[in-house]
Amino acid sequence: MEDSQEYKDKKAYFQKIITLYGRNVVIEALQDSSIEVHKLHLASSNKPDGAIKTILSLANTRNIEITYHEKNSLSRISKNAKQDQGVAIDIIAQTYKSANEIQNLNNFRLIALDGIQNPQNLGMIIRSCAAGNVDGIILPKKSSAKISPLVIKASAGTLFKLPIYYCYSLDEILPKLKDTSIYALSSHAKNSIYNVKAEKKSIFVLGNESDGISPEVEKLCNNSISIPMQRGVESLNVAVTASLLAFMR
């Protein structure tokens, strides 16, 4: 029964759900008709005035399902009791895809993130990749920043403009991608990013803000490259590095 196409389709649908929270964020999501909404969650203790009144009006206009919860239950949904303001919303991100789909692509240039934990960095990386010559981002669920209002704000509205491929960890997906040039960004590498020749299938791996790429993931890379630095500067912010990669030819 679990192997039925109906089950697979349902599972794929729910994998695309991203839960956001906070009154202003929810209002913005409801006002954007291009964002598909699965369900709106409200704390039953909310007073139906001000922002809540606006949220209810927008939800009713779009005929969106509304579910009421006790505050503790809502906090479990939002996963941020301190900042959810009694409101959460499930949106369907059509650009949020399983990393297994990469195996079906003939050509791609992707940026893979290994342990990026700062939401603002993640948002800025998404913005640069959306604007540049990148076909998507691989974002593991393990030890990574989650898609959140902070990420959306830092991405300046570009979150849904390019594919974000999810997996549990990079060592789960990278070994499956055959005939792919996988580059580790390392300050110790002798090869410059400016000497990289365009390959049909390329992935550039960026590491954690303080520790860089994990040893486990580095072993899965078949090349390492660096950004030439001047005047004794040791490294760049990971979001800046992503920008340089995104606009490489």
Q: What is the pLDDT of residues 2-29, one digit of tens each?
A: 567 777 777 777 788 889 999 998 998 8
Q: What is the DSSP letter of 182?
A: E
Q: Which residues contact 11 (CB under 8 A, 6 or more apart)?
A: none
Instruction: Grade residue 62 by pLDDT with cuts at 50, 70 and 90.
Output: very high
Contact yes or no for 40/89 (Cβ under 8 A): yes
Q: Which fold has domain 5-92?
A: 60s Ribosomal Protein L30; Chain: A; (3.30.1330)
List phi, psi (to 5°) of 189: -70, 145
For residue 114, the SS3 value is: strand
Q: Which residues contact 75 (CB under 8 A, 6 or more apart)?
A: 81, 84
Burial of 8 (0-12, 13-18, 19+ CB in 10 A): exposed
> What are the pLDDT digits (tens) for 98-144?
999 999 999 999 999 999 999 999 999 999 999 999 999 999 999 89
Helix (H) or strand (E) holding 27: helix 23-31
Look up the pTM and report it: 0.85
Q: What is the pLDDT of residue 2?
A: 53
For residue 61, the SS3 value is: helix
Instruction: Given CATH 3.40.1280.10, say whether it is the number of domain 96-246.
Output: yes
Residues forming a β-bridge with 88: 21, 41
Alpha helices (runs of H) in 86-235, residue ranges in sequence order:
119-131, 149-155, 170-173, 215-218
List phi, psi (to 5°) of 39: -165, 150
- What is each CA distance from 74 to 18, 52, 62, in whole angstroms? 15, 15, 22
Give me the residue label for tokens 């550039």: 204
Q: What is the pLDDT of residue 3?
A: 62
The side-by-side arrangement of strands in the sheet containing 36-43 is 17-21, 87-92, 36-43, 66-69
The mean predicted confidence, pLDDT, of the chain is 90
Q: How is the chain split into domains, by residue range?
A: 5-92, 96-246
**Token duo for residue 137:** 């981002």
Dist. CA 30–CA 24, nearest whole Å: 10
Give me the residue label for tokens 């479990």: 76
Task: Tell me which residue of 180, 207, 195, 208 sits closest to 248, measured CA to CA.
Answer: 195
Phi-psi region of 179 (alpha: psi -120 to 50; beta: other; left: phi over 0): left
Judged against a pLDDT cut of 70, whether residue 30 lies above it is answered with yes
